Amino acid sequence: MNVNVSTVFRQSPIRRNTWRSMLRDPMTALGTGILAIIILLTLIGPFIVPNDSLAVKMSERLQSPSWQYPLGTDHLGRCIFSRLVAGAKTTLGISAFVIISVTLIGIPVGLLSGYVGGRVDALLMRLVDGVGALPEFILAIAISGFLGPSLTNLMLSIVLVKWIGYARVVRSIVLSEREKEYVLAARVAGCSTWTVLWRHLLPQIISPVVVLAALDIGKIILIISALSYLGLGAQPSAPEWGAMLNDGRPYFQTVPELMIYPGVAIMLVVVSCNLISDGLRHILDVRSR
């Protein structure tokens, strides 16, 4: 029975032509292209980088670009290109982890709060409002301050704050959708709460969540690199772009390349994320059409 209802009323939110429309807009296509290249580099990185990103060779410090070291070496003789590629893995991996964690917390909370309502909703929303009122950087300082600076603690503090936005968005969509005919029809047809949530409501919230996530990824990358630069995230010697900037700081005056490459890398990734999020918002968000 519920198969019929769901095939009739189910709308697939991210249509096949989403990809096509994304590539038609030049700026979005540019962002997608840059990000695709960076992800590809990250994936095949371990096979193409010429050197070990952690190998210190004091005899070959601060060298200019060569076949052996495509972008030269840093103040400890480490290959900058290899470190940049390894840094992409750290940065992209962490932001992917953070985004997946926040959606995995935010979506169920929002669904539950919006669909079940009542006391559960009141309780969850108090929590959301309470945690949401705390600025994330204060949380980041509190957590890394008391528990010690590390990448794990930094990720923890970002996840702790960021899930709020997702819970709020999902809840507001569920609140407006749950009174609509197709949900009523599904319930009359005898669908369980679980089926209604999973098969009927979840597809509705995917596109707003994707738009929100695309917007957040850029911000998360900036937070992680800024705090790593301060020494509150990835610790020096780890190939992370912010930490690389921190690491090479005394040499910037003589060898500005040490500062240029990681910064450009951060900016390229964040620019492409922002371009993609702009494009996605345009394509998926009905209101902005």
Check residue 63 and report its DSSP letter.
Answer: P
What residues from 148 to 167 belong to the interface with other proteins (CB under 8 A)? 148-149
The token pair at 27 is 């700026």
> Does the footprint of other proteins cover residue 256 (CB under 8 A)?
yes
- Which of 171, 155, 200 shows the shortest CA–CA distance to 106? 171
- The piece of 54-62, 64-72, 113-121, 262-270 that touches other proteins (CB under 8 A) is 262-270
Nearer to other proteins, 51 or 225 (CB): 225
Judged by CB under 8 A, the residue of 26, 65, 93, 130 near other proteins is 130
Q: What is the nearest approach in angstroms of other proteins to the Cβ of residue 181?
A: 27
- 257 binding other proteins? (CB under 8 A): no
Binding marks (x or -) toward other proteins, 196..235, rule CB under 8 A?
----------------------x---x--xx--xxxx---
Give yes or no for residue 43 binding other proteins (CB under 8 A).
no
Beta-carbon contacts of residue 244 (< 8 Å; ≥ 6 apart): 74, 83, 84, 87, 258, 262
Q: Which two structure tokens, joined as six digits, stand for 243?
A: 């930490």
**For residues 177 and 250, what is the distance between their CA atoms, to the nearest angstrom?**
57
- Region near other proteins per CB under 8 A, out of 18-26, 74-82, 114-122, 250-258: 250-258
- In the 8-state DSSP scheme, what is residue 58? G
The reply on whether position 119 binds other proteins by CB under 8 A is no
Kindly report the backbone phi and psi dihedral angles of residue 15, in degrees, each rounded to the nearest multiple of 5, phi listed first.
-80, 165
HEC per residue, 91-136: HHHHHHHHHHHHHHHHHHHHHHHHHHCHHHHHHHHHHHHHHHCCCH
Map residue 12 onto helix, strand or coil: coil
- How far apart, in Å, do the first and last CA atoms of the chain sit? 36
Is 253 among the residues that bind other proteins (CB under 8 A)?
A: yes
Of the candidate spans 70-78, 101-109, 113-121, 269-277, the one that interacts with other proteins by CB under 8 A turns out to be: 269-277
Q: Judged by CB, which is closer to other proteins: 180, or 249?
A: 249
Pick the closer one to other proteins by CB: 107 or 143: 143
| Size of the residue set binding other proteins (CB under 8 A) | 42
Tokens, residue 82: 């290899």
Contact positions vs other proteins (CB under 8 A): 126, 129-131, 133-139, 141-149, 218, 222, 225-226, 229-232, 242, 245, 249, 252-253, 256, 259, 263, 266-267, 270-271, 274-275
